[in-house]
């Protein structure tokens, strides 16, 4: 963790724009620190280099097969912020109901301002489902979200990802070939993976986090498995344990561990599967007693949060309420007051009647927006370094203007289409998730809630 040069309360809250803050840091007008000054440039400048570019996922390895964005025309690269804003508004007016723009909570403010719907990945998938009449769905989020929207929308509708380089480094940590290979190796331990035992249970139920490729969702659908999000992970794990002896959970080890631990699964029954090691780095005895096999994936944004930051927040703000996303490592979730999905965090802040100090462990764009929307509260990001999710940050207004003006001219740029043979089983896995409900009387609980 980089040295902290600010106390936590120094984060400015009135301006929700992370981009403005990064520009101010680079210009020397802000005392804050950013994890990489290249963030002040347009994505087209750093997309020519290999890797994910500046931001929280810069240390991750981009798969060679990941989509690459072609060059954005100069008219968009060179346009001022004001010009892009005007062009986006004009294109939206011309297109009217023909287009719906979806924006994830982690998108930069300059993009979110144009979205018809802002939400988490699950809510935005539903928003796609609820707009069967729009010709185009412009998804301001990351690749797996656009794929999910394509799975749930009508075949005639075009789902558009404004910048193809907007992947998710965590989703890319589980590649379909690695997962197929893992499955074959697990079959060496557990025998026939598709035949239930005398009690009707399969040896392993695969569970994938929404943050995974359509190919992985298809794999899960073909093998009796299911998709989960950070808001329904416990219900989904319960669904899986009703049908199987154990769970293979991917790609996020932290969401899997935090959720299973909150359900009472002992840590020594949750071995890790590292696809870069022979036999996942595990052994037969460990796998035989495993209840949850955790894939070695993680989110580089949420991995930046630490117990030290929570300790500092508590020292500087007695009575602070610490809420973190369950993609954070287990010690951070354990040290927080609560953990929950992006929408859980938003609702928890909205539900607070009294002025409250919140320290939040999730992506900075959402935290700064919440701080600006709720001036009665003190809301700050646990990480004092301004370090957005670099893949989410790939959706710059220049790309949004380009795809919208393309639609005005009758051109569809960057359409995301999931092939039929993958889409059918992937939809099965998604539909299982949509049908899974918590037991009567229990509202859906976020993973690892501690208060």
For ligand 13P, the binding residue among 69, 213, 229, 235 (CB under 6 A) is 229
Tell me the residue nearest to ligand 13P as measured from the CB.
Answer: 120
Q: How far is the CB of 53 from ligand SF4 (least distance, A)?
A: 12
Mask of contacts with ligand 13P, 399-418, x by CB under 6 A? --------------------
Q: Which of residues 126-145 bind ligand SF4 (CB under 6 A)?
A: 142
Q: What does 169 interact with, of ligand SF4, ligand 13P, none (CB < 5 to 8 A by kind)?
A: ligand SF4
Task: Name which of 258 and 300 has its Cβ closer to ligand SF4.
Answer: 300
CB of 217 closer than 8 Å to CB of 230:
no
Task: Name which of 340 and 398 has its Cβ closer to ligand 13P.
Answer: 340
Q: Is 39 in the site for ligand SF4 (CB under 6 A)?
A: no
How many residues bind ligand 13P, per CB under 6 A?
A: 11
* CA-closest candidate to residue 33, choices 51, 21, 16, 45: 21
Q: Is 342 in the site for ligand 13P (CB under 6 A)?
A: yes
Q: What is the DSSP string of 252-292?
A: BHHHHHHHHHHTT--GGG--EE-TTSGGGG--HHHHHH-SE
Q: How far is the CB of 340 from ligand SF4 (least distance, A)?
A: 15
Q: What does 405 interact with, of ligand SF4, ligand 13P, none (CB < 5 to 8 A by kind)?
A: none
Rounded Cα distance, 406 and 195, in Å: 50
Q: Which of residues 230-289 bind ligand SF4 (CB under 6 A)?
A: none
CA 7 to chain centre: 28
SS (H, E, C) 99-167: EEEEEECCCCHHHHCCCCEEECHHHHHHHHHCCCCCCEEEEECCHHHHHHHHHHCCCCCEEECCCCCCC
CB of 365 closer than 8 Å to CB of 387:
no
Q: Is 172 in the site for ligand 13P (CB under 6 A)?
A: no
Q: Which of residues 113-152 bind ligand 13P (CB under 6 A)?
A: 120-122
Relative to beta strand 33-34, strand 99-104 is unpaired
Task: Name which of 341 and 365 has its Cβ closer to ligand 13P.
Answer: 341
Q: Is 252 in the site for ligand 13P (CB under 6 A)?
A: no
For ligand SF4, the binding residue among 57, 157, 231, 309 (CB under 6 A) is 57
DSSP H or E segment with residue 203: strand 202-209
> Quick one: angle between helices 397-408 and 81-95, nearest 10?
30
Task: Name which of 57 and 449 has its Cβ closer to ligand SF4.
Answer: 57
* CA-closest candidate to residue 178, choices 256, 292, 273, 247: 273
The CA-based dihedral angle spanning residues 153, 154, 158, 164, taken in that order and rounded to the nearest 10 degrees: 40
CA 164 to chain centre: 16
Q: How far is the CB of 165 from ligand SF4 (least distance, A)?
A: 13
Q: Is 301 in the site for ligand SF4 (CB under 6 A)?
A: yes
For ligand SF4, the binding residue among 102, 392, 433, 436 (CB under 6 A) is 392
**Contact positions vs ligand SF4 (CB under 6 A):** 57, 106, 142, 168-170, 211, 299-301, 363, 389, 391-392
């Amino acid at each position: 963790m980089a040295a902290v040069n600010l106390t936590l309360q120094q984060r400015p809250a009135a301006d929700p724009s992370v981009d403005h803050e990064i520009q101010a840091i680079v210009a020397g007008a802000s005392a804050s620190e950013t994890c990489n000054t290249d963030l002040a440039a347009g994505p087209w400048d750093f997309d020519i280099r290999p890797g994910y570019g500046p931001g929280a996922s810069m240390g991750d390895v981009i798969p060679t097969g990941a989509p690459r964005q072609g060059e954005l025309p100069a008219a968009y690269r060179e346009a001022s912020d004001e010009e892009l804003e005007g062009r986006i508004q004009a294109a939206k007016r011309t297109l009217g109901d023909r287009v719906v723009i979806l924006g994830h909570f982690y998108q930069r403010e300059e993009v979110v301002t144009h979205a018809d719907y802002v939400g988490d990945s699950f809510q935005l998938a539903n928003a796609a489902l609820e707009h069967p009449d729009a010709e185009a769905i412009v998804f301001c989020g990351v690749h797996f979200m656009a794929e999910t929207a394509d799975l749930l929308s009508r075949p005639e509708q075009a789902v558009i990802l404004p910048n193809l380089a907007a992947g998710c480094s965590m989703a890319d940590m589980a590649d379909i070939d690695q997962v197929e290979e893992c499955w074959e190796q697990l079959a060496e331990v557990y025998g026939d993976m598709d035949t239930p035992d005398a009690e009707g249970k399969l040896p392993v139920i695969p569970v994938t986090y929404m943050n995974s490729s359509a190919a992985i969702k298809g794999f899960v659908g073909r093998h009796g498995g299911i998709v989960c999000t950070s808001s329904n992970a416990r219900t989904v794990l319960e669904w899986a344990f009703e049908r199987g002896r154990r769970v293979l959970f991917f790609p996020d080890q932290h969401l899997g561990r935090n959720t299973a631990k909150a359900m009472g699964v002992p840590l020594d029954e949750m071995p890790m599967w590292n696809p870069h090691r022979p036999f996942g780095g595990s052994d037969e005895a460990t796998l035989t007693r495993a209840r949850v096999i955790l894939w070695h994936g993680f989110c580089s944004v949420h991995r930046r949060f630490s117990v030290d930051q929570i300790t500092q927040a508590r020292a500087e703000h007695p009575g602070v309420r610490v809420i973190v996303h369950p993609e954070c490592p287990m010690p951070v979730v354990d040290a927080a007051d609560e953990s929950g999905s992006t929408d859980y965090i938003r609702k928890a802040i909205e539900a607070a009647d009294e002025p409250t100090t919140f320290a939040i462990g999730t992506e900075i764009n959402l935290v700064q927006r919440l701080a600006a929307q709720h001036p009665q509260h003190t809301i700050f990001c646990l990480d004092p370094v301004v370090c957005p999710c670099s893949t989410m940050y790939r959706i710059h207004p220049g790309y949004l203007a380009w795809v919208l003006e393309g639609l005005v001219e009758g051109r569809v740029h960057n359409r995301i289409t999931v092939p039929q043979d993958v889409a059918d089983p992937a939809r099965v896995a998604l539909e299982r998730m949509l049908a899974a409900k918590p037991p009567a009387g229990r509202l859906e609980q976020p993973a690892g809630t501690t208060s």
